[in-house]
Chain A
Protein backbone atom coordinates (compact mmCIF):
# COMPACT_ATOMS: atom_id res chain seq x y z
CA UNK A 1 0.00 0.00 0.00
CA UNK A 2 2.83 2.31 0.91
CA UNK A 3 4.44 1.87 -2.47
CA UNK A 4 1.21 2.85 -4.21
CA UNK A 5 1.32 6.12 -2.30
CA UNK A 6 4.91 6.61 -3.40
CA UNK A 7 4.04 5.92 -7.03
CA UNK A 8 1.17 8.39 -6.90
CA UNK A 9 3.49 11.06 -5.56
CA UNK A 10 5.87 10.25 -8.39
CA UNK A 11 3.05 10.66 -10.86
CA UNK A 12 1.68 13.96 -9.54
CA UNK A 13 5.19 15.38 -9.54
CA UNK A 14 5.68 14.43 -13.17
CA UNK A 15 2.38 16.11 -14.04
CA UNK A 16 3.53 19.27 -12.30
CA UNK A 17 6.75 19.15 -14.29
CA UNK A 18 4.82 18.88 -17.53
CA UNK A 19 2.58 21.80 -16.72
CA UNK A 20 5.69 23.93 -16.29
CA UNK A 21 5.60 24.27 -20.07
CA UNK A 22 2.15 25.70 -20.49
CA UNK A 23 2.15 26.28 -24.24
CA UNK A 24 3.46 22.80 -24.93
CA UNK A 25 0.84 21.36 -22.61
CA UNK A 26 -1.94 23.16 -24.53
CA UNK A 27 -0.63 22.00 -27.90
CA UNK A 28 -0.56 18.54 -26.52
CA UNK A 29 -4.21 18.68 -25.47
CA UNK A 30 -5.05 20.01 -28.93
CA UNK A 31 -3.20 17.14 -30.63
CA UNK A 32 -5.05 14.63 -28.50
CA UNK A 33 -8.43 16.12 -29.40
CA UNK A 34 -7.58 15.97 -33.10
CA UNK A 35 -6.56 12.35 -32.78
CA UNK A 36 -9.82 11.36 -31.16
CA UNK A 37 -11.86 13.22 -33.73
CA UNK A 38 -10.23 10.87 -36.23
CA UNK A 39 -11.13 7.84 -34.16
CA UNK A 40 -14.78 8.89 -34.04
CA UNK A 41 -14.60 9.28 -37.79
CA UNK A 42 -13.52 5.66 -38.11
CA UNK A 43 -16.45 4.55 -36.01
CA UNK A 44 -18.78 6.58 -38.22
CA UNK A 45 -17.34 4.97 -41.36
CA UNK A 46 -17.78 1.54 -39.87
CA UNK A 47 -21.43 2.31 -39.18
CA UNK A 48 -22.18 3.82 -42.57
CA UNK A 49 -20.01 2.27 -45.18
CA UNK A 50 -20.25 -1.41 -44.56
CA UNK A 51 -23.32 -3.52 -44.20
CA UNK A 52 -21.89 -6.88 -43.53
CA UNK A 53 -18.45 -8.50 -43.63
CA UNK A 54 -18.07 -12.27 -43.63
CA UNK A 55 -21.27 -12.79 -41.73
CA UNK A 56 -20.71 -9.98 -39.25
CA UNK A 57 -23.31 -7.25 -39.15
CA UNK A 58 -22.35 -3.62 -38.66
CA UNK A 59 -23.67 -3.65 -35.08
CA UNK A 60 -21.56 -6.67 -34.26
CA UNK A 61 -18.48 -5.05 -35.72
CA UNK A 62 -19.08 -1.93 -33.69
CA UNK A 63 -19.21 -4.11 -30.59
CA UNK A 64 -15.95 -5.70 -31.72
CA UNK A 65 -14.49 -2.24 -31.99
CA UNK A 66 -15.69 -1.33 -28.50
CA UNK A 67 -13.83 -4.24 -26.91
CA UNK A 68 -10.67 -3.16 -28.73
CA UNK A 69 -11.16 0.50 -27.76
CA UNK A 70 -11.52 -0.36 -24.09
CA UNK A 71 -8.53 -2.68 -24.01
CA UNK A 72 -6.22 -0.27 -25.84
CA UNK A 73 -7.67 2.72 -23.97
CA UNK A 74 -6.72 1.29 -20.59
CA UNK A 75 -3.43 0.04 -21.95
CA UNK A 76 -2.53 3.50 -23.24
CA UNK A 77 -3.52 4.98 -19.92
CA UNK A 78 -1.33 2.65 -17.90
CA UNK A 79 1.60 2.01 -20.23
CA UNK A 80 1.90 5.30 -22.09
CA UNK A 81 5.45 5.94 -20.87
CA UNK A 82 6.68 2.72 -22.48
CA UNK A 83 6.37 4.27 -25.92
CA UNK A 84 9.26 6.62 -25.16
CA UNK A 85 11.22 4.14 -23.14
CA UNK A 86 14.11 3.77 -25.58
CA UNK A 87 14.97 7.41 -24.93
CA UNK A 88 15.52 6.60 -21.26
CA UNK A 89 17.96 3.89 -22.32
CA UNK A 90 19.83 5.92 -24.91
CA UNK A 91 20.17 8.90 -22.55
CA UNK A 92 21.26 6.65 -19.71
CA UNK A 93 18.38 8.04 -17.68
CA UNK A 94 17.46 4.52 -16.70
CA UNK A 95 20.54 4.59 -14.44
CA UNK A 96 18.78 6.76 -11.94
CA UNK A 97 15.73 4.52 -11.97
CA UNK A 98 17.96 1.65 -10.88
CA UNK A 99 19.50 3.46 -7.93
CA UNK A 100 16.20 4.12 -6.22
CA UNK A 101 14.54 1.73 -3.82
CA UNK A 102 11.47 1.15 -5.98
CA UNK A 103 10.64 -1.32 -8.73
CA UNK A 104 12.15 -0.08 -12.01
CA UNK A 105 9.03 -1.01 -14.00
CA UNK A 106 6.80 0.76 -11.47
CA UNK A 107 8.93 3.89 -11.70
CA UNK A 108 8.87 3.90 -15.50
CA UNK A 109 5.12 3.38 -15.66
CA UNK A 110 4.30 5.95 -13.03
CA UNK A 111 6.66 8.57 -14.38
CA UNK A 112 3.98 9.57 -16.88
CA UNK A 113 0.31 8.97 -17.49
CA UNK A 114 -1.59 9.89 -20.60
CA UNK A 115 -4.68 10.93 -18.68
CA UNK A 116 -6.04 12.19 -21.96
CA UNK A 117 -6.37 8.64 -23.25
CA UNK A 118 -9.41 8.46 -21.03
CA UNK A 119 -11.10 9.82 -24.16
CA UNK A 120 -10.50 6.41 -25.67
CA UNK A 121 -12.84 5.08 -23.06
CA UNK A 122 -15.53 7.50 -24.16
CA UNK A 123 -15.22 6.12 -27.69
CA UNK A 124 -15.36 2.63 -26.26
CA UNK A 125 -18.52 3.41 -24.33
CA UNK A 126 -20.18 4.98 -27.35
CA UNK A 127 -19.28 1.97 -29.47
CA UNK A 128 -20.50 -0.32 -26.72
CA UNK A 129 -23.86 1.39 -26.67
CA UNK A 130 -24.39 1.21 -30.45
CA UNK A 131 -22.85 -2.25 -30.66
CA UNK A 132 -25.21 -3.62 -28.01
CA UNK A 133 -28.16 -2.01 -29.65
CA UNK A 134 -27.54 -2.95 -33.29
CA UNK A 135 -25.76 -6.18 -32.49
CA UNK A 136 -28.80 -7.23 -30.45
CA UNK A 137 -26.81 -8.18 -27.36
CA UNK A 138 -28.82 -9.77 -24.63
CA UNK A 139 -27.01 -8.55 -21.50
CA UNK A 140 -27.48 -11.46 -19.14
CA UNK A 141 -26.01 -11.46 -15.64
CA UNK A 142 -23.01 -13.54 -16.73
CA UNK A 143 -22.22 -11.25 -19.61
CA UNK A 144 -22.30 -8.21 -17.36
CA UNK A 145 -19.99 -9.90 -14.87
CA UNK A 146 -17.61 -11.22 -17.51
CA UNK A 147 -17.35 -7.98 -19.49
CA UNK A 148 -14.79 -6.37 -17.14
CA UNK A 149 -12.94 -9.69 -16.91
CA UNK A 150 -12.58 -9.81 -20.69
CA UNK A 151 -11.49 -6.18 -20.84
CA UNK A 152 -8.89 -6.85 -18.13
CA UNK A 153 -7.66 -9.85 -20.12
CA UNK A 154 -7.45 -7.63 -23.20
CA UNK A 155 -5.42 -5.06 -21.27
CA UNK A 156 -3.06 -7.80 -20.11
CA UNK A 157 -2.59 -8.94 -23.71
CA UNK A 158 -2.12 -5.48 -25.20
CA UNK A 159 -0.03 -4.25 -22.25
CA UNK A 160 2.05 -7.43 -22.13
CA UNK A 161 2.85 -7.17 -25.83
CA UNK A 162 3.78 -3.56 -25.38
CA UNK A 163 6.07 -4.37 -22.48
CA UNK A 164 7.74 -7.16 -24.43
CA UNK A 165 8.38 -4.90 -27.39
CA UNK A 166 9.65 -2.19 -25.05
CA UNK A 167 12.12 -4.59 -23.44
CA UNK A 168 13.73 -5.13 -26.84
CA UNK A 169 15.30 -1.68 -26.34
CA UNK A 170 17.60 -3.17 -23.72
CA UNK A 171 19.33 -5.04 -26.55
CA UNK A 172 18.84 -2.78 -29.54
CA UNK A 173 18.83 0.62 -27.79
CA UNK A 174 16.60 2.39 -30.27
CA UNK A 175 13.38 0.58 -31.02
CA UNK A 176 10.81 3.28 -31.48
CA UNK A 177 9.78 2.21 -34.96
CA UNK A 178 9.24 -1.33 -33.75
CA UNK A 179 7.17 -0.05 -30.85
CA UNK A 180 5.06 2.07 -33.16
CA UNK A 181 4.52 -0.74 -35.63
CA UNK A 182 3.57 -3.28 -33.03
CA UNK A 183 1.56 -1.05 -30.77
CA UNK A 184 -0.22 1.29 -33.09
CA UNK A 185 -0.38 -0.35 -36.48
CA UNK A 186 -1.07 -3.88 -35.34
CA UNK A 187 -4.36 -3.02 -33.76
CA UNK A 188 -5.73 -2.12 -37.20
CA UNK A 189 -5.85 -5.86 -37.79
CA UNK A 190 -8.56 -6.31 -35.24
CA UNK A 191 -10.74 -3.43 -36.35
CA UNK A 192 -12.42 -6.17 -38.41
CA UNK A 193 -13.36 -9.75 -37.53
CA UNK A 194 -10.23 -11.83 -38.04
CA UNK A 195 -12.06 -14.48 -40.06
CA UNK A 196 -11.77 -12.14 -43.04
CA UNK A 197 -8.07 -13.13 -43.20
CA UNK A 198 -6.65 -16.36 -44.56
CA UNK A 199 -5.98 -19.26 -42.20
CA UNK A 200 -2.29 -18.48 -41.81
CA UNK A 201 -3.03 -14.94 -40.66
CA UNK A 202 -5.74 -16.15 -38.32
CA UNK A 203 -3.33 -18.62 -36.81
CA UNK A 204 -0.78 -15.84 -36.39
CA UNK A 205 -3.26 -13.53 -34.67
CA UNK A 206 -4.44 -16.34 -32.40
CA UNK A 207 -1.32 -18.16 -31.31
CA UNK A 208 1.71 -16.07 -32.19
CA UNK A 209 0.56 -12.50 -31.75
CA UNK A 210 -2.66 -13.22 -29.89
CA UNK A 211 -4.49 -9.93 -30.31
CA UNK A 212 -7.54 -11.77 -31.70
CA UNK A 213 -8.25 -12.61 -28.06
CA UNK A 214 -8.73 -8.94 -27.30
CA UNK A 215 -11.98 -8.75 -29.21
CA UNK A 216 -12.69 -11.38 -31.84
CA UNK A 217 -12.94 -14.50 -29.68
CA UNK A 218 -14.70 -13.04 -26.63
CA UNK A 219 -17.13 -11.20 -28.93
CA UNK A 220 -18.59 -14.59 -29.83
CA UNK A 221 -19.63 -15.09 -26.24
CA UNK A 222 -21.29 -11.70 -25.90
CA UNK A 223 -22.98 -11.87 -29.31
CA UNK A 224 -24.11 -15.48 -28.84
CA UNK A 225 -22.44 -16.34 -32.15
CA UNK A 226 -21.45 -19.78 -33.18
CA UNK A 227 -17.81 -20.33 -34.06
CA UNK A 228 -16.24 -18.66 -37.05
CA UNK A 229 -12.67 -18.81 -38.26
CA UNK A 230 -10.29 -20.89 -36.20
CA UNK A 231 -12.73 -20.85 -33.38
CA UNK A 232 -12.85 -23.71 -31.01
CA UNK A 233 -15.58 -23.09 -28.41
CA UNK A 234 -12.91 -23.06 -25.68
CA UNK A 235 -11.14 -20.07 -27.22
CA UNK A 236 -14.17 -17.91 -26.48
CA UNK A 237 -13.12 -17.73 -22.85
CA UNK A 238 -9.40 -17.77 -23.55
CA UNK A 239 -8.80 -14.03 -23.14
CA UNK A 240 -7.94 -13.88 -19.40
CA UNK A 241 -5.69 -16.94 -19.61
CA UNK A 242 -3.89 -15.68 -22.72
CA UNK A 243 -3.59 -12.32 -20.95
CA UNK A 244 -1.91 -13.89 -17.94
CA UNK A 245 0.46 -15.89 -20.13
CA UNK A 246 1.46 -12.88 -22.22
CA UNK A 247 1.95 -10.71 -19.14
CA UNK A 248 4.04 -13.33 -17.38
CA UNK A 249 6.28 -13.78 -20.41
CA UNK A 250 6.57 -10.03 -20.82
CA UNK A 251 7.60 -9.49 -17.19
CA UNK A 252 10.29 -12.13 -17.61
CA UNK A 253 11.58 -10.48 -20.76
CA UNK A 254 11.57 -7.10 -19.00
CA UNK A 255 13.57 -8.53 -16.11
CA UNK A 256 16.01 -10.20 -18.50
CA UNK A 257 16.29 -6.82 -20.23
CA UNK A 258 17.06 -4.96 -16.99
CA UNK A 259 19.83 -7.46 -16.28
CA UNK A 260 21.18 -6.94 -19.76
CA UNK A 261 21.10 -3.15 -19.46
CA UNK A 262 24.46 -1.77 -20.50
CA UNK A 263 24.02 1.84 -19.47
CA UNK A 264 25.98 4.45 -21.40
CA UNK A 265 29.64 5.34 -21.39
CA UNK A 266 31.28 7.21 -18.51
Chain B
Protein backbone atom coordinates (compact mmCIF):
# COMPACT_ATOMS: atom_id res chain seq x y z
CA UNK B 1 0.00 0.00 0.00
CA UNK B 2 1.05 3.51 -0.71
CA UNK B 3 2.20 5.23 2.42
CA UNK B 4 2.33 8.73 1.00
CA UNK B 5 0.74 11.73 2.49
CA UNK B 6 -2.27 11.68 0.22
CA UNK B 7 -5.33 9.83 1.45
CA UNK B 8 -7.70 10.56 -1.42
CA UNK B 9 -6.94 11.69 -4.92
CA UNK B 10 -9.70 12.54 -7.37
CA UNK B 11 -9.12 13.60 -10.98
CA UNK B 12 -11.78 14.55 -13.49
CA UNK B 13 -14.26 12.32 -11.70
CA UNK B 14 -17.72 12.19 -13.29
CA UNK B 15 -20.85 10.17 -12.87
CA UNK B 16 -23.80 10.17 -15.25
CA UNK B 17 -27.10 8.57 -14.45
CA UNK B 18 -29.35 7.29 -17.13
CA UNK B 19 -32.82 8.20 -16.01
CA UNK B 20 -35.89 7.06 -17.86
CA UNK B 21 -38.78 9.39 -17.44
CA UNK B 22 -42.31 8.20 -17.19
CA UNK B 23 -45.20 10.39 -18.12
CA UNK B 24 -48.00 11.68 -15.98
CA UNK B 25 -50.96 9.54 -15.04
CA UNK B 26 -51.83 6.07 -16.16
CA UNK B 27 -51.70 6.70 -19.90
CA UNK B 28 -48.34 8.40 -19.56
CA UNK B 29 -46.97 5.49 -17.61
CA UNK B 30 -48.38 3.09 -20.19
CA UNK B 31 -46.73 5.03 -23.00
CA UNK B 32 -43.47 5.04 -21.07
CA UNK B 33 -43.56 1.25 -21.01
CA UNK B 34 -43.15 1.10 -24.76
CA UNK B 35 -41.57 4.37 -25.49
CA UNK B 36 -38.83 5.16 -23.06
CA UNK B 37 -37.68 8.68 -22.93
CA UNK B 38 -34.15 8.61 -21.65
CA UNK B 39 -32.34 11.44 -20.04
CA UNK B 40 -28.74 11.61 -18.95
CA UNK B 41 -28.20 13.39 -15.68
CA UNK B 42 -24.67 14.34 -14.74
CA UNK B 43 -24.60 14.01 -10.97
CA UNK B 44 -20.88 14.63 -10.59
CA UNK B 45 -19.15 16.66 -13.26
CA UNK B 46 -15.38 16.31 -13.68
CA UNK B 47 -14.31 17.17 -10.16
CA UNK B 48 -10.72 17.24 -8.88
CA UNK B 49 -9.43 17.30 -5.33
CA UNK B 50 -6.79 15.85 -3.08
CA UNK B 51 -7.18 15.11 0.56
CA UNK B 52 -4.15 14.61 2.77
CA UNK B 53 -3.89 12.17 5.64
CA UNK B 54 -5.36 13.51 8.84
CA UNK B 55 -7.54 16.14 7.20
CA UNK B 56 -11.12 16.72 8.32
CA UNK B 57 -13.04 17.84 5.26
CA UNK B 58 -16.61 19.02 5.01
CA UNK B 59 -18.32 18.11 1.77
CA UNK B 60 -21.46 20.16 1.33
CA UNK B 61 -24.01 21.12 -1.23
CA UNK B 62 -27.73 21.19 -1.77
CA UNK B 63 -29.74 18.02 -2.19
CA UNK B 64 -28.84 16.51 -5.52
CA UNK B 65 -25.56 18.40 -5.79
CA UNK B 66 -23.67 15.12 -6.03
CA UNK B 67 -22.31 14.71 -2.50
CA UNK B 68 -23.54 11.18 -1.91
CA UNK B 69 -22.68 10.16 -5.45
CA UNK B 70 -19.07 11.21 -4.84
CA UNK B 71 -18.94 9.33 -1.54
CA UNK B 72 -20.40 6.27 -3.24
CA UNK B 73 -17.72 6.37 -5.91
CA UNK B 74 -14.99 6.71 -3.29
CA UNK B 75 -16.35 3.80 -1.30
CA UNK B 76 -16.62 1.50 -4.32
CA UNK B 77 -20.42 1.41 -4.46
CA UNK B 78 -20.67 3.21 -7.77
CA UNK B 79 -18.44 2.92 -10.82
CA UNK B 80 -17.49 6.35 -12.19
CA UNK B 81 -18.50 7.24 -15.74
CA UNK B 82 -15.11 8.82 -16.30
CA UNK B 83 -12.12 10.17 -14.42
CA UNK B 84 -10.14 8.54 -11.68
CA UNK B 85 -10.24 8.19 -7.93
CA UNK B 86 -7.80 6.65 -5.50
CA UNK B 87 -8.35 6.06 -1.82
CA UNK B 88 -5.30 4.93 0.16
CA UNK B 89 -3.69 4.31 -3.22
CA UNK B 90 -6.49 1.89 -4.19
CA UNK B 91 -8.96 2.37 -7.02
CA UNK B 92 -12.22 1.77 -5.14
CA UNK B 93 -14.44 0.19 -7.78
CA UNK B 94 -11.67 -1.99 -9.17
CA UNK B 95 -10.58 -3.39 -5.83
CA UNK B 96 -13.70 -3.16 -3.74
CA UNK B 97 -12.67 -5.63 -1.08
CA UNK B 98 -9.22 -4.16 -0.61
CA UNK B 99 -10.70 -0.68 -0.44
CA UNK B 100 -13.43 -1.72 2.00
CA UNK B 101 -10.84 -3.07 4.43
CA UNK B 102 -9.20 0.35 4.67
CA UNK B 103 -12.19 2.65 4.96
CA UNK B 104 -15.04 3.16 7.35
CA UNK B 105 -18.44 4.21 6.02
CA UNK B 106 -21.45 5.61 7.83
CA UNK B 107 -24.68 6.42 6.04
CA UNK B 108 -26.85 8.47 8.32
CA UNK B 109 -30.01 7.35 6.59
CA UNK B 110 -29.30 3.66 6.67
CA UNK B 111 -27.82 1.48 9.36
CA UNK B 112 -24.87 -0.83 8.81
CA UNK B 113 -26.00 -2.96 11.72
CA UNK B 114 -28.24 -6.00 11.71
CA UNK B 115 -31.65 -4.63 12.56
CA UNK B 116 -32.88 -7.57 14.61
CA UNK B 117 -29.72 -8.44 16.47
CA UNK B 118 -28.26 -7.03 19.64
CA UNK B 119 -25.54 -4.46 18.96
CA UNK B 120 -22.90 -6.79 20.39
CA UNK B 121 -23.64 -9.46 17.80
CA UNK B 122 -23.41 -7.00 14.94
CA UNK B 123 -20.03 -5.92 16.25
CA UNK B 124 -18.87 -9.54 16.58
CA UNK B 125 -19.95 -10.25 13.03
CA UNK B 126 -18.15 -7.17 11.72
CA UNK B 127 -15.06 -8.26 13.61
CA UNK B 128 -15.14 -11.56 11.69
CA UNK B 129 -15.94 -9.90 8.33
CA UNK B 130 -13.13 -7.37 8.68
CA UNK B 131 -10.74 -10.03 10.01
CA UNK B 132 -9.90 -8.15 13.18
CA UNK B 133 -8.11 -10.22 15.81
CA UNK B 134 -9.88 -10.70 19.14
CA UNK B 135 -7.34 -8.68 21.20
CA UNK B 136 -7.39 -5.78 18.72
CA UNK B 137 -11.18 -5.91 18.70
CA UNK B 138 -11.40 -5.86 22.48
CA UNK B 139 -9.13 -2.87 22.86
CA UNK B 140 -10.88 -0.99 20.06
CA UNK B 141 -14.31 -1.65 21.58
CA UNK B 142 -13.04 -0.50 24.94
CA UNK B 143 -11.85 2.72 23.41
CA UNK B 144 -15.08 3.27 21.47
CA UNK B 145 -17.17 2.47 24.53
CA UNK B 146 -15.29 5.05 26.57
CA UNK B 147 -15.83 7.76 23.98
CA UNK B 148 -19.34 6.91 22.83
CA UNK B 149 -20.87 5.28 25.92
CA UNK B 150 -21.79 2.06 24.18
CA UNK B 151 -21.92 -0.26 27.16
CA UNK B 152 -25.62 0.17 28.08
CA UNK B 153 -26.58 -0.37 24.41
CA UNK B 154 -24.59 -3.50 23.70
CA UNK B 155 -27.34 -5.99 24.49
CA UNK B 156 -30.20 -4.09 22.90
CA UNK B 157 -31.54 -5.05 19.48
CA UNK B 158 -30.71 -2.35 16.97
CA UNK B 159 -34.37 -1.76 16.10
CA UNK B 160 -35.03 -0.64 19.69
CA UNK B 161 -32.33 2.02 19.75
CA UNK B 162 -33.14 5.71 19.45
CA UNK B 163 -31.73 7.50 16.42
CA UNK B 164 -28.92 9.06 18.47
CA UNK B 165 -28.02 5.75 20.09
CA UNK B 166 -28.09 3.99 16.75
CA UNK B 167 -25.83 6.59 15.20
CA UNK B 168 -23.29 6.16 18.00
CA UNK B 169 -23.33 2.43 17.38
CA UNK B 170 -23.10 2.89 13.62
CA UNK B 171 -20.07 5.13 13.94
CA UNK B 172 -18.46 2.64 16.32
CA UNK B 173 -19.23 -0.16 13.87
CA UNK B 174 -17.50 1.69 11.06
CA UNK B 175 -14.35 1.97 13.17
CA UNK B 176 -14.03 -1.61 14.39
CA UNK B 177 -11.21 -2.26 11.92
CA UNK B 178 -9.62 1.10 12.75
CA UNK B 179 -9.63 2.40 9.17
CA UNK B 180 -7.32 5.27 8.18
CA UNK B 181 -10.12 6.95 6.20
CA UNK B 182 -13.67 7.52 7.40
CA UNK B 183 -16.61 8.60 5.22
CA UNK B 184 -19.62 10.05 7.01
CA UNK B 185 -22.71 10.74 4.95
CA UNK B 186 -25.00 12.94 7.03
CA UNK B 187 -24.19 11.38 10.40
CA UNK B 188 -26.03 14.03 12.40
CA UNK B 189 -29.26 14.00 10.41
CA UNK B 190 -32.30 14.05 12.66
CA UNK B 191 -30.32 14.10 15.89
CA UNK B 192 -30.99 16.36 18.85
CA UNK B 193 -28.44 18.92 20.03
CA UNK B 194 -26.91 16.72 22.73
CA UNK B 195 -26.54 13.72 20.47
CA UNK B 196 -24.94 15.91 17.81
CA UNK B 197 -22.58 17.32 20.37
CA UNK B 198 -21.39 13.95 21.59
CA UNK B 199 -20.80 12.75 18.05
CA UNK B 200 -18.90 15.92 17.15
CA UNK B 201 -16.69 15.58 20.19
CA UNK B 202 -15.93 12.01 19.30
CA UNK B 203 -15.08 12.83 15.70
CA UNK B 204 -12.76 15.64 16.78
CA UNK B 205 -11.04 13.18 19.09
CA UNK B 206 -10.36 10.42 16.57
CA UNK B 207 -9.25 12.93 13.98
CA UNK B 208 -6.79 14.44 16.46
CA UNK B 209 -5.65 11.32 18.31
CA UNK B 210 -5.71 8.65 15.62
CA UNK B 211 -5.03 10.90 12.66
CA UNK B 212 -8.08 9.46 10.93
CA UNK B 213 -8.86 11.25 7.68
CA UNK B 214 -12.53 12.21 7.75
CA UNK B 215 -14.82 13.27 4.95
CA UNK B 216 -18.16 14.49 6.17
CA UNK B 217 -21.25 15.43 4.23
CA UNK B 218 -23.86 17.33 6.12
CA UNK B 219 -26.58 19.92 5.90
CA UNK B 220 -25.79 21.17 9.37
CA UNK B 221 -23.35 24.05 9.07
CA UNK B 222 -22.59 23.87 12.76
CA UNK B 223 -20.99 20.50 12.02
CA UNK B 224 -18.81 22.22 9.46
CA UNK B 225 -17.89 25.20 11.61
CA UNK B 226 -17.01 23.06 14.60
CA UNK B 227 -15.30 20.19 12.84
CA UNK B 228 -14.02 20.90 9.38
CA UNK B 229 -10.97 23.02 8.73
CA UNK B 230 -11.47 22.50 5.06
CA UNK B 231 -14.63 22.81 3.08
CA UNK B 232 -15.57 21.63 -0.37
CA UNK B 233 -18.81 23.04 -1.72
CA UNK B 234 -20.49 21.28 -4.56
CA UNK B 235 -23.07 22.75 -6.86
CA UNK B 236 -24.76 20.86 -9.64
CA UNK B 237 -21.97 18.32 -9.68
CA UNK B 238 -19.15 20.85 -9.82
CA UNK B 239 -16.85 22.08 -7.10
CA UNK B 240 -17.51 25.74 -6.50
CA UNK B 241 -15.33 26.19 -3.44
CA UNK B 242 -12.47 24.18 -2.06
CA UNK B 243 -10.45 25.70 0.73
CA UNK B 244 -10.28 26.59 4.37
CA UNK B 245 -13.62 27.11 6.03
CA UNK B 246 -12.35 30.40 7.49
CA UNK B 247 -11.23 31.68 4.11
CA UNK B 248 -14.69 31.12 2.72
CA UNK B 249 -15.81 34.14 4.68
CA UNK B 250 -13.05 36.31 3.29
CA UNK B 251 -13.72 35.18 -0.21
CA UNK B 252 -17.45 35.54 -0.26
CA UNK B 253 -18.12 38.23 2.27
CA UNK B 254 -17.56 41.64 0.81
CA UNK B 255 -19.84 43.32 3.29
CA UNK B 256 -20.12 43.16 7.01
CA UNK B 257 -23.12 44.05 9.07
CA UNK B 258 -22.91 46.60 11.84
CA UNK B 259 -25.61 46.90 14.45
CA UNK B 260 -25.77 50.26 16.16
CA UNK B 261 -27.91 51.03 19.18
CA UNK B 262 -28.60 54.64 20.19
CA UNK B 263 -29.85 55.98 23.48
CA UNK B 264 -32.97 57.31 21.84
CA UNK B 265 -34.64 56.91 18.50
CA UNK B 266 -34.72 59.34 15.62
CA UNK B 267 -31.03 59.17 14.75
CA UNK B 268 -30.24 58.95 11.07
CA UNK B 269 -26.85 57.77 9.93
CA UNK B 270 -25.72 59.21 6.64
CA UNK B 271 -22.73 60.47 4.75
CA UNK B 272 -20.21 57.86 5.84
CA UNK B 273 -18.25 56.49 2.86
CA UNK B 274 -18.87 52.79 2.11
CA UNK B 275 -21.79 52.50 4.49
CA UNK B 276 -25.40 51.76 3.59
CA UNK B 277 -28.31 51.75 5.98
CA UNK B 278 -30.28 48.56 5.69
CA UNK B 279 -32.90 48.83 8.39
CA UNK B 280 -33.98 51.10 11.21
CA UNK B 281 -36.10 50.03 14.09
CA UNK B 282 -36.57 52.03 17.26
CA UNK B 283 -33.18 52.85 18.73
CA UNK B 284 -31.44 50.34 16.50
CA UNK B 285 -29.98 50.74 13.05
CA UNK B 286 -28.41 48.07 10.89
CA UNK B 287 -25.75 49.03 8.40
CA UNK B 288 -23.69 47.16 5.88
CA UNK B 289 -20.29 48.36 4.87
CA UNK B 290 -17.96 47.56 2.04
CA UNK B 291 -15.44 45.25 3.65
CA UNK B 292 -13.03 45.29 0.74
CA UNK B 293 -12.37 48.99 0.44
CA UNK B 294 -12.92 50.37 3.93
CA UNK B 295 -11.45 49.42 7.26
CA UNK B 296 -13.76 48.39 10.04
CA UNK B 297 -11.90 50.58 12.54
CA UNK B 298 -12.40 53.72 10.49
CA UNK B 299 -16.08 53.10 10.03
CA UNK B 300 -16.73 52.45 13.71
CA UNK B 301 -14.56 55.40 14.66
CA UNK B 302 -16.50 57.72 12.38
CA UNK B 303 -19.85 56.54 13.70
CA UNK B 304 -18.74 56.84 17.33
CA UNK B 305 -17.43 60.36 16.84
CA UNK B 306 -20.53 61.62 15.08
CA UNK B 307 -23.28 60.02 17.11
CA UNK B 308 -24.08 59.26 20.71
CA UNK B 309 -24.19 55.50 20.69
CA UNK B 310 -25.11 53.04 23.42
CA UNK B 311 -23.78 49.91 21.81
CA UNK B 312 -22.21 48.80 18.57
CA UNK B 313 -21.45 45.33 17.24
CA UNK B 314 -20.06 43.83 14.05
CA UNK B 315 -21.59 40.58 12.93
CA UNK B 316 -19.62 37.94 11.18
CA UNK B 317 -21.99 36.04 8.91
CA UNK B 318 -22.20 32.32 9.72
CA UNK B 319 -20.99 29.75 7.24
CA UNK B 320 -24.56 28.67 6.83
CA UNK B 321 -25.74 32.09 5.72
CA UNK B 322 -22.79 32.40 3.38
CA UNK B 323 -23.56 29.11 1.75
CA UNK B 324 -27.24 29.87 1.63
CA UNK B 325 -26.43 33.09 -0.11
CA UNK B 326 -24.17 31.35 -2.54
CA UNK B 327 -26.94 28.91 -3.36
CA UNK B 328 -29.63 31.50 -3.62
CA UNK B 329 -28.22 34.39 -5.49
CA UNK B 330 -24.51 34.06 -5.74
CA UNK B 331 -24.51 37.66 -4.57
CA UNK B 332 -23.45 37.73 -0.98
CA UNK B 333 -25.58 40.14 0.88
CA UNK B 334 -26.16 39.27 4.47
CA UNK B 335 -29.37 40.83 5.62
CA UNK B 336 -29.67 42.00 9.21
CA UNK B 337 -32.63 39.80 10.04
CA UNK B 338 -30.72 36.77 8.94
CA UNK B 339 -27.73 37.78 10.99
CA UNK B 340 -29.58 38.32 14.19
CA UNK B 341 -31.23 34.96 13.75
CA UNK B 342 -27.96 33.18 13.29
CA UNK B 343 -26.12 34.78 16.13
Is the pair B121, A13 in contact by a Cβ cutoff of 8 Å? yes
Least distance between A238 CB and chain B CB atoms (Å): 35
What chain B residues lie within 8 Å of A236 (beta carbons)?
Answer: none
The reply to whether the CB of B117 lies closer than 8 angstroms to some CB of chain A is yes
Interface: B175 (CB within 8 A):
no
Closest to A13 in B: B125
> Which of B68-76, B133-141, B232-240 has 4 or more CB atoms under 8 Å from chain A?
B68-76
Interface string of A1-24 (1 = CB under 8 A from B): 010011001100110111011000
In the complex formed, the residue of B with least CB distance to A98 is B77
A261 contacts B78, C-beta separation under 8 Å: yes
- Is the CB–CB distance between A262 and B96 below 8 Å? no
Task: Judge whether A96 and B79 touch: CB under 8 Å.
Answer: no
Q: Write the chain B residue with the least CB distance to A94.
A: B77
Instruction: Answer yes or no: A126 CB below 8 A from chain B CBs.
Output: no
Q: Which of B90-125 contact A (CB under 8 A)?
A: 93, 96-98, 100-101, 103, 105, 107, 109-110, 112, 114-117, 121, 125
Contact flag A263-B78 (CB < 8 Å), given A13-B117, A16-B121, A20-B116: yes
Interface: B143 (CB within 8 A)? no
Say yes or no: A16-B68 contact (C-beta < 8 A), given A95-B110, A101-B98. Answer: no
A17→B101 CA distance, assembly (Å): 25
CB atoms of B97 and A262 under 8 A apart: no
Select which of B115, B129, B157 is within 8 A of A10 by beta carbon: B129
The interface size bin for chain A is 20 to 34
- With A16-B121, A261-B78, A263-B77 known as contacts, the answer to whether A96 contacts B110 (CB < 8 A) is yes
Chain A 91-113, CB within 8 Å of chain B: the 1/0 string? 01101101111111000000000
CB pair A98–B121 under 8 Å, yes or no, is: no
A17:B100 contact, CB within 8 angstroms: no
- Across the interface, which residues of A come within 8 angstroms of B110, CB to CB? 92-93, 95-96
Are the CB atoms of A102 and B105 closer together than 8 Å?
no
Looking at the assembled complex, report how far the CB atom of A65 sits from the nearest CB atom of chain B, in whole angstroms. Answer: 38
Given contacts A103-B97, A260-B79, 17 further A-B contacts (CB under 8 A): A13-B117, A13-B121, A16-B121, A17-B117, A20-B117, A21-B116, A95-B72, A95-B107, A101-B97, A101-B129, A102-B129, A259-B93, A261-B77, A262-B17, A262-B78, A265-B68, A266-B186
Seen from chain B, the residues whose Cβ lies within 8 Å of a Cβ on chain A are 17, 63-64, 68, 72, 75-79, 93, 96-98, 100-101, 103, 105, 107, 109-110, 112, 114-117, 121, 125, 128-131, 157, 186
A-B contacts, 5 of them at CB < 8 A, read A6-B129, A18-B116, A21-B116, A95-B72, A259-B79
Nearest 3 A/B pairs, CB to CB: A17-B116, A101-B101, A101-B100
Q: Which residues of A contact B (CB under 8 A)?
A: 2, 5-6, 9-10, 13-14, 16-18, 20-21, 92-93, 95-96, 98-104, 259-263, 265-266
